[in-house]
Amino acid sequence: MSVITTQRDGDILVIVSDNPPVNALGHAVRAGLAAAISEAAGDDGIKAVVIRCDGRTFFAGADITEFGKPPLAPSLPDVVDAIEQCPKPVVAAIHGTALGGGLEVALGCHYRIAVPSAKLGLPEVKLGLLPGAGGTQRLPRVAGVADALSMIVTGDPVDAARALEIGLVDRLAGADTLAEDAIAFARDVAARAGHPVSSLRTDRIAEAANHPQVFDKFIAENARRLKGFDAPKACVEAVRAAVDRPFDEGIRLERELFMKLVSGTQSKAMRHLFFAERQAAKIDGIPADTPMIDIARVGILGAGTMGGGIAMNFLSAGLPVTLVEREQAALDRGVATIRKNYERTAARGRMTAEQVEAAMALLTPTLAYEDLADCDLVIEAVFELMEIKKEVFRRLDAIVKPGAILASNTSYLDIDEMAAETKRPEAVVGLHFFSPANIMRLLEVVRGARTSPSVLKTVMALAKKIGKIAVVSGVCPGFIGNRMLRPRQTEAQKLLLEGASPWEVDAALTEFGFPMGPFQMADLAGLDLGWTAEGSTSSTIREVLCERGRRGQKTGSGFYDYDDNRRGAPSPETEAIIAEFAAKSGLPQRKFSADEIRERLLYPMINEGAKILEEGMAQRASDIDIVWLNGYGWPAYTGGPMFWADTIGLKTVLDGLERQADALGPDFTVSSLLKSKAGAGETFN
Ligand code: 3HC
Ligand code: NAI
């Protein structure tokens, strides 16, 4: 059956798309739409047209899988033009998400009607692109420059109510009556004399034409978001053209910019990440009919930094949480922090006071382990010591009902060792959240040797429910993320002894696109994590910094000196401490270029990633990219460490590691997978 069909309702032609799962505008859809529009144009019995979609959503965009392949006519811009030029008024009937090319189709229509739950957006920038079917020229003309700029540059959608406010939607439909309401709307407009044509409108862009500084102001306000990315700059340039130039010239510029971006490495990298994120949810070796465990109540052990943040994820999703601590003071502190975080969100207008109370009402704080008995999932977030973890698992196993899942938030420890303490090793899994756990989207799901398919499938679905991006890891120290972080940290420390400064090392990484470097990160986390004055022996740079009261941002100094606004400056005291250690090490001192610093820090990480793959600890290279992107701030426009390695060439990485062999030391070994792939000219992804 064709993906596009037409139906008649009296003198209204209804064009229906049915192209699951998201009605992407692939070739068949475009061809069908073009044919249906000419059917409407050529039929005197038709007075107006409705375009709507079956299934869960209106067109969610161009078909991303077609990018990079030879184009097939009709192109999407041509289809949108044909809709706009149709002599009969065309109404877009929107439900679900009208995204990218989908919204561009709707903008080609003369009118738009949407259900209240609909979302409308131009997310191309998130794929390293700009809207390429007239969106940069039509959206400002329909919705005004300020809203268009923000939608196109951030890629974030607006809801139907906002779309109505800004003129992007003309009318709201009933929640369940879109098809009928759209036909009624089409009949209304058919009786009108003229119809709005988006490309011909000037009313909404007139103001910006008189105030061109709106663009510079926007760029200045969004500088951080724009840094390093090519696409947002192109988006701004194209929207500016909507104001400065005639429509046709604006479209030509949009096309030029789109073609440049779509063939560039940034967009390839970001498209890779789009599919990688969806791929990460798929687990090898889990039959489709694997049953899920119903999770109605979650238990959390430990109300510290992690426990509280983890609890918030479930409370926010409407799941009741039992929070257990070993002492009242820690419990009270934990609960107070949760409330404070919610109240801060409410103060910023992102939650109502009622929502704060509703979330808090789902929380049951207690000192009694027994209260965990009826939980379907218990996550422990107690101190990172195997002996304590083991004891916790023995106790939980005895108390928590049979069939319930027991999870650990450990950062490094062996899940199988904990599982062995229980009579239900199949129910034990690692759920490694990242700090702050209520905000960071990454969740490493650690698959133990005996974790059952049912438990894995359940926690992956639960992760999606609480808005996390879950990646499956095998059991190894530090799992995927922290295991790869370790060589980077080791090399960063060694570089200090060889003549590089913390600021040079940090700058090499921030230039690459990380939000901060290893020493800025250490200062932020606190240098005294796991440090005590009594146990300190002045044997590392870090220990000496702590001994001198330089314990990180919170004490006003660490590697850096901080001002009242927490802005860090290079510290002569730190330099002197490092110089002493460097002299003691006897290592020759020299200058390092930013490129060499990156080679020393990043190539060993890729090598570790390759080992993780060859040992089967990650299911696929793209999962590693997802971990580093969402857990550690690896810049999205490079596609993640493994994709970046593919881009620069695995032979380049291997050669770099060989060049650094002396510095990396005798314990460093090169991954055999990296060697063989580099030798064969292959890639990881
Ligand atoms: N092209 C091709 N495949 C797509 C797609 C697209 N635009 N959008 C989604 N898919 C695929 C996904 O890869 C996934 O495939 P899988 O099941 O094989 O893994 C499947 O559709 C379902 O997608 P999700 O799992 O993401 O489903 P959700 O219900 O969670 O989300 C969605 C739906 C909000 C529509 C989300 O898929 C999404 O954000 N899609 C991308 C939207 C987008 O970026 N559109 C712009 C495209 S670029 C463009 O239009 C250029 C134009 O300006 C010329
Ligand atoms: P934390 O020290 O802030 O909190 C631990 C809490 O557990 C304390 O409030 C303590 O009173 C409580 N506790 C200790 N033993 C207990 C017991 N037997 N029963 C009940 N409560 C008990 O520690 P944090 O940072 O929250 O770490 C917890 C776990 O999360 C560790 O395994 C850690 O490795 C892991 N983790 C930590 C991250 C971080 O950035 N802090 C990131 C990811 C994982």
Residue among 325, 306, 304, 531 nearest 410 (CA): 306
Q: d(Cα 219, Cα 214) in Å, to the nearest integer?
A: 9
Give 40-51 as a DSSP string.
Answer: HHT-TT--EEEE
pLDDT in tens, 266-313: 999 999 999 999 999 999 889 999 999 999 999 999 999 999 999 999
Instruction: Work out whether strand 363-366 and strand 321-324 pair parallel, antiparallel, or are unpaired.
Output: parallel
Q: pLDDT by residue (tens digit) across 346-390?
A: 999 999 999 999 999 999 999 999 999 999 999 999 999 999 999
How large is the average pLDDT for residues 105-122? 98
- Give the mutation target among 371, 411, 480, 483 for probing the ligand 2 site: most ligand atoms within 8 A of CB: 411
Q: Is the pLDDT of residue 530 over 90?
A: no
Ligand that lies nearest to the alpha carbon of residue 273, given by its number in the listed order: 1
Read off the pLDDT of each residue in 8-25 and give the average, rounded to a whole number.
98
- Kindly report the protein residue whose alpha carbon is nearest to atom 44 of ligand 2: 411
Residue 511 CA to residue 250 CA, distance in Å, equals 33
Ligand 2 mean position, distance from CA 380 (Å): 8
Q: How far does residue 60's CA lie from ligand 1's centre (Å)?
A: 6
Ligand 2 atom nearest to 302, measured from its CA: 7
Give me the phi and psi of 552, to 5 degrees please: 115, -175
Q: In terms of Cα–Cα distance, which of 437, 489, 442 is closest to 631?
A: 442
- Best mutation site among 17, 56, 64, 76 for ligand 1 pocket (most ligand atoms within 8 Å of CB): 64
pLDDT, average across residues 302-329: 97
Q: Please identify, by atom number, the ligand 2 atom nearest to the C-alpha of residue 330.
A: 9
Task: Among 312, 332, 383, say which to mutate for ligand 2: greatest number of ligand atoms within 8 Å of CB.
Answer: 383
Q: Which of 17, 19, 22, 159 to mutate to test the pocket of ligand 1 (most atoms within 8 A of CB)?
A: 22
Active site residues: 104, 124
What is the bridge-based pairing of β-strands 158-159 and 119-121? antiparallel
Q: Which residue has the tokens 């500084």?
A: 213
How remote is the CA of residue 553 from the centroid of ligand 2, in Å? Answer: 22
Amino acid found at 311: A
CB 498 within 8 A of CB 590: yes
pLDDT at 344 over 90: yes
Taking the CB of residue 207, how many other CB atoms lie within 10 A of it? 13
Residue nearest atom 29 of ligand 1, based on CA coordinates: 22
Q: Which amino acid is at 573?
A: E
What is the distance in A from the centroid of ligand 1 to the CA of 481?
Answer: 27
The residue whose CA has the least distance to atom 16 of ligand 2 is 382
Q: How does pLDDT run across 139-198, given as a tens digit for each residue?
A: 999 999 999 999 999 999 999 999 999 999 999 999 999 999 999 999 999 999 999 999
Name the pLDDT band for 16 (thresholds 50, 70, 90). Answer: very high
Q: Give the closest residue (by CA) to ligand 1 atom 19.
A: 278
541 Cα to the center of ligand 2, angstroms: 26
Tell me which ligand sits closest to the C-alpha of residue 442: 2
* Beta strand ranges found along 73-193 (DSSP E): 90-94, 97-99, 111-114, 119-121, 158-159, 171-172
To test the ligand 2 pocket, which listed residue (331, 332, 382) has its Cβ within 8 A of the most ligand atoms? 382
Helix (H, G, I), strand (E, B) or coil at 443: strand
How many Å lie between the centroid of ligand 2 and the Cα of residue 539? 27
Ligand 2 centroid from CA 616, angstroms: 29
Residue 225 has pLDDT above 80, yes or no: no
Residues with CB under 6 A from ligand 1: 21-22, 24, 57, 60-65, 76, 97, 99-101, 104, 123-124, 127, 131-133, 135, 275, 278
Q: Which atom of ligand 1 is nearest to the CA of 102?
A: 50
Which atom of ligand 2 lies nearest, measured to the CA of 388? 18
Res 655 pLDDT > 90: yes
Closest ligand 1 atom, residue 133 Cα: 54
The maximal CA–CA distance of the chain, rounded, in angstroms, is 92
> Tell me, what's the pLDDT at 208?
84
CA distances from 436 to 305, 306, 310, 444 (A): 8, 7, 9, 14
Whether the per-residue pLDDT at 1 is higher than 80: the answer is: no
User: pTM for the whole thing?
Assistant: 0.94
Q: What is the mean pLDDT of residues 488-492?
A: 97
Average pLDDT score, the chain: 96
Ligand nearest to the CA of 396: 2
Question: Do residues 671 and 614 touch, judged by C-beta distance below 8 A?
Answer: yes
Assess contact for 63 and 133: CB atoms under 8 A: no
Contacts of 678 (CB under 8 A, 6+ apart): 649, 650, 651, 653, 654
The residue-averaged pLDDT of 453-462 equals 98
Q: For the residues of 630-681, what is the DSSP string, one character each? A: HHH---GGGTSHHHHHHHH-HHHHHHHHHHTHHHH-TT----HHHHHHHHHT
Q: Which ligand is nearest to the Cα of residue 305, counting in written order? A: 2
Q: Which atom of ligand 1 is nearest to the CA of 130?
A: 53
Beta pairing partners, 471: 444
348 CA to centre of ligand 2 in angstroms: 28
3-state secondary structure of 520: helix
Predicted pLDDT at 224: 80
Start-to-end CA distance of the chain, whole Å, equals 35
| Pocket around ligand 2 at a 6 A CB cut-off | 301-307, 324-326, 330, 381-384, 388, 392, 409-411, 433-435
What region does 403 belong to: left with phi over 0, alpha with psi -120 to 50, or beta?
Answer: left
Q: Which ligand is nearest to the CA of 99?
A: 1
Distance 310 CA to ligand 2 centre (A): 11
* Nearest-CA residue for atom 35 of ligand 2: 410
pLDDT digits (tens, 9 = 90+) for 464-475: 999 999 999 999
